[in-house]
Amino acid sequence: MADGFRVLITDRAWPDCLIEQEVLAEVGAEVIEADAVDEARLVELAADVDAIAACWAQVTPAVVAASPRCRIVARFGIGLDNIPVDACTERGIPVTFVPDYCIPEVADHTIALMLASLRKIAFYHVQTKQGRYDLAEGPTARRLSGLQLGLVGLGRIARAVVPRARALGLQVVAHSPSGNDHDTGCPMLGFEELLRSSDVVSLHCPLSHENQHLINPVSLGWMPDHAVLINTSRGALIDHDAAWQALEQDRLGGLALDVFDPEPPDLSQPLFADPRVIATPHAGFLSQESVEELRRRTAQQIADVLNGRLPEHVVNPEVCGHLEPGSR
């Protein structure tokens, strides 16, 4: 077993790196924590490491190019919009992620945002805590049973939302480019048809150049005035200026966001003062169990590659011919 490896952790959403240090110590690897996440600093730090792990920091092609010894770029999470997969592939570097670590958490968070919006829980909570105990001040809440929930995207998280929503009596429909219902039994609709017919729309698709601002003035115009829009996926799927305009004009019933563009958002914007808007700080993935799982699995992916083994969940397997099958 080789030793003397150095692993750069660009950023983290937890207090320390003890779990990562524990796992990586088994292959003789030292953890290096970045003290800043700007490109220039990451380029400097990457020059002398054998692996890079990133949470939300942007790992640019320049960072990858500056790391001649790098054997793996690992993403702490599901999305890959901050990882230059093509640049890594060109240099023969495997990219890994953990696409299945927080499915129950994000599915539960989606349902919680829907409940808080439809039942006006956030509104009444603020009013009551401010000393106004008055039902007459509140907006009209909705009965969940019989409403239609439209899922845009039908990946692992969306599929976990389906039984949760049905248990509350909602009718669930979905849209995905493939049209595959993945044995959920969801009617598969066109994008416009789903928006026009749904009382609640929840976004569950990865961000790409093609679907940036998928929710825009045109698509918002297709939604019923009472509809609630939920996003636990990626912030840039929504044109937030257009969403605010729709709210101002009473063409949107509510907005529940766990992701933003940029992150963190400017909370002084009038959007966030609107009582119809619920915002949480990219917390959908968060639980004690999910974070520990994410950290251990990401660190193990790095350890496997440094030890010459094929890790789980490689995005670009075509560069892994030199790695032995079997990660444990």
Instruction: Look at residue 139 in the predicted model and tell me its pLDDT.
Output: 86
pLDDT-based confidence at 1, cuts 50/70/90? Answer: very low
Nearest CA to 76 out of 128, 7, 124 is that of 7
List the 148-152 sheet strands across, edge first.
Answer: 171-175, 148-152, 200-203, 228-231, 254-257, 277-279
Q: Would you say residue 3 has pLDDT above 60? A: no
Q: Which amino acid is at 191?
A: F
Token digits of residue 289: 């169990």
Q: Tell me what the pLDDT averaged over the chain comes to.
A: 96
- Output the CA torsion 127→130→134→139 (10° steps): -10
Residue 65 near residue 42 (C-beta atoms within 8 A): no
Average pLDDT, stretch 220-242? 98
Question: Which residues, 6 or more positions from 316, have their beta carbon under 8 angstroms from its beta carbon?
Answer: 85, 88, 89, 94, 95
Question: Which residues, 6 or more positions from 128, have their beta carbon under 8 angstroms from its beta carbon?
Answer: none
Average pLDDT, stretch 58-68? 98
Nearest CA to 222 out of 116, 162, 150 is that of 150
Residue with tokens 């003062």: 273
Q: 161-213, pLDDT tens digit by residue?
A: 999 999 999 999 999 999 999 999 999 999 999 999 999 999 999 999 999 99
pLDDT-based confidence at 327, cuts 50/70/90? Answer: very low
Instruction: Count Cα atoms within 13 angstroms, Cβ side, for 288.
Output: 0
Token digits of residue 238: 């929504």
Catalytic positions, please? 234, 263, 282
Class (C level, CATH) for 103-279: alpha beta
Residue range(s) of every CATH 3.40.50.720 domain in the chain: 5-101+287-319, 103-279
* Distance between CA atoms of residues 237 and 209, nearest Å: 10
Q: Would you say residue 326 has pLDDT above 80? A: no
Q: Which CATH architecture has domain 5-101+287-319?
A: 3-Layer(aba) Sandwich (3.40)
Instruction: Look at residue 227 in the predicted model and tell me its pLDDT.
Output: 98
**Phi, psi torsion values for 70, nearest 5 degrees:** -60, 130
pLDDT-based confidence at 137, cuts 50/70/90? Answer: confident
Residue 79 near residue 234 (C-beta atoms within 8 A): yes
Instruction: Look at residue 172 in the predicted model and tell me its pLDDT.
Output: 98
Instruction: Look at residue 136 in the predicted model and tell me its pLDDT.
Output: 86
